Chain A
């Protein structure tokens, strides 16, 4: 079964400092990995996804993510945090080994609340 872990419920960072939001995954085959952001009482917005062969993926709003196969991780990063980055961040995974009707479903982590302090 596929699973995702976001080990930190909350991450606090000062504005202008680099930020990292951690994600580790477990799948049977090759993973398809995604990051989403959620603002209060809103739906999820897609930030970026892992593309096979590119260990550093760039996405929206200056975010990037580093894929590490040996550590089964896909950490979200940004070189310089903004107060407006404060939100809830979700990592999600699909497993290529899941066949049939359930193959496209995403499994989400529990989310990490990012607070950027002015």
Chain B
């Protein structure tokens, strides 16, 4: 089945550690996105990429980094510079060849907790 796989589902991080969240898609979508979800704040865009080896900052990129070495993969690293990383992280992807009314597909999310 085609889809987006995020791993792990739950992740615990100690203060000062970097952690990497995985996002893999087999939908052959060009664009991939990372969102952060906090209660009552909706989804906020961290980073996005529309092509391999290229990505752009979203609204809340500070303390995060990404790479896009393969079309299928868009890992997110939460660095120690991110002061409040506890949140639910969602990866999404979309096609770029069907026009702007094409919907995005989401993974099942990773819940990151700082301990």
Contacts and interface: CB of A to CB of B under 8 A. Distances in A.
Is the interface on chain B under 10, 10 to 19, 20 to 34, or 35 or more residues? Answer: 20 to 34
Interface of B is mostly: strand
Interface string A54-81: 0000000000000000000000000000
Nearest to B6: A43
Nearest to B55: A101
Interface in B42-96: 42-43, 45, 48, 50, 54, 56, 58, 88, 90, 92, 94, 96
B41 interface: yes
A104 B50 contact: yes
B56 A102 contact: yes
Contacts of B48: 101-102, 105
A90 interface: yes
Interface of B: 4, 6, 31, 33, 35, 40-43, 45, 48, 50, 54, 56, 58, 88, 90, 92, 94, 96, 100-101, 103-109, 111
Given A43-B107, A90-B43, A104 B94 contact: yes
Is the interface on chain A under 10, 10 to 19, 20 to 34, or 35 or more residues? Answer: 20 to 34
Nearest to A45: B106
